Each structure stands twice: as structure tokens, then as C-alpha cells.
A = this chain, B = another copy of it.
Amino acid sequence: MGREAKATNVVWHATKVAREDRERLLGQRGVVLWFTGLPGSGKSTLANEVAHMLHQRGHLAYILDGDNIRHGLNKDLGFSPEDREENIRRIGEVANLFADAGVVAMTAFISPYRRDRDRVRNLVGDGRFIEIYVNCPVEVCERRDPKGMYAKAKRGEIPEFTGVSAPYEPPEDPEIELRTDLMSVEECAKKVVEYLEREGIIRPL
């Protein structure tokens, strides 16, 4: 019997590692923390603080935000209604893969439309999709204006800017709501981490 003929008899099959196995390894559940809110409301900052607190407790978290998505995976997308919808769809799909990997995936995008967010909720599934409404009055966001975007939008240089010339649809029943104008970033992040602990997503301290 030749080498090739022999090889065709070899059982060519592998054991699969399941999500539960990865979760056991990491000591956490894979979930999606979906931060949504106006530009300047503090989504990215908050996600980074939560990631830091989780890391200090030995948990693996990863943030998808404008920095690593807009110039990478979604660099082919513009700002038309279709492209905005596709932007959120892809982010939802990738966040879902990270959750499947066992990671606490966080997304920090305005994601102004309820319909788009609810689609991601349906994809990820209840119990694994945690919508976090980063609630901050537009006046405060505008005063913060970390990237000078509100000023530009007011001058008419950015068409369809959420909070100025385009609508933001607040979540109707978010798992967590945070008023970032009334609490510090540490206080807000702590509330998220406490939620995760309460829900058994991370190990208790």
C-alpha cells in the first residue's frame, strides 16, 4: 500500500473547542457591552475605564471603537444611511465573534438608531447583549467637544451630525444607564463592573 492510499484511511477529524470551554478557561462569560450615546457623551473613555478595571481583576476585555474599526474593517464605508447601517451591522457581527471567543467585547459607537442596535441584540442574544446608555445632555457634550466636532457641525461643516442635525434615539430599556455629566468616569465604570459581577459574567472579588 502506497503512502497516499494509506493516508486516505486516516481519520481526518478534530475535537472542537466550544464557547463554554473558552469561558471556563478565562473564568468569565463572553458578552457584548454595547455603549451608545451622543458624540462626546463619554463612550470610549468609559469603555477604556471598564477595560482597565476588568484587566486589573484578571479578565480579558477588548474594545471596538472608531480607532480600530473605521480605518480598518470599515474603511470602505462612508456616511450614507446605507453605509451607517452596514457599519453597525459589521461591528455587531465582530463583537458577536469576540463574545463567542469568550471575551468581554465592548463597542463604543454613537449607534443612534434603535433598529440597528436591536438587530445586534437579536444576533448576540438576550443575556449576552448588554446595552449601556451613556446619557449626557447635549449641552454638556457640546461643551466637552473633545474632537471639535460640535463646533464644526454648528458651522454646517458636518452634515447629519448626531445631536445637532441628525436624531439620536435613546434606548428604551437599556440594561445599564449612566449619567456621565453627574458622575466621574470611575463611578460610571464601577457601576458597569458591578453589573457584570451581579450577573455572574465575571468572578466576584
Residues of A within 8 A of B (CB): 3-4, 7-8, 10-17, 21-22, 25-26, 42, 45-46, 48-49, 51-52, 55, 58, 60-62, 64, 68, 72-73, 76, 86, 90, 93-94, 96-98, 100-103, 137, 139-140, 143-144, 180-185, 189
Q: Are A90 and B102 in contact (CB under 8 A)?
A: no
User: How far is B146's CA from A13's CA once the two chains are assembled, in angstroms?
Assistant: 11
30 A-B residue contacts at CB 8 Å? A3-B181, A3-B182, A7-B140, A10-B185, A12-B42, A12-B45, A12-B144, A12-B185, A14-B45, A14-B49, A14-B189, A16-B48, A16-B51, A17-B55, A21-B55, A22-B55, A22-B62, A25-B55, A26-B60, A60-B101, A60-B102, A62-B100, A62-B101, A68-B97, A72-B93, A73-B93, A90-B90, A98-B98, A101-B103, A103-B103
Set of chain B residues within 8 Å of A17, measured between Cβ atoms: 48, 51-52, 55, 61
Minimum Cβ distance to chain B for residue A55 (Å): 5
In the complex, which residues of chain B have a beta carbon less than 8 angstroms from the beta carbon of A25? 55, 58, 60
Docked Cα-Cα span, A185 to B11, in Å, equals 8
Contact B3 A64 (CB under 8 A): no
A144: contacting residue among B8, B14, B46, B61, CB under 8 A: B8
Instruction: Tell me the nearest residue of chain B to A98, going by C-beta.
Output: B101
Select A72's contact among B3, B49, B97, beta carbons within 8 Å: B97
For A101, the chain B residues whose CB sits under 8 A away are 60, 62, 98, 103
With A17-B55, A22-B55, A68-B97 already in contact, 5 other A-B pairs whose C-beta atoms are closer than 8 Å? A12-B45, A16-B51, A17-B51, A25-B55, A101-B103
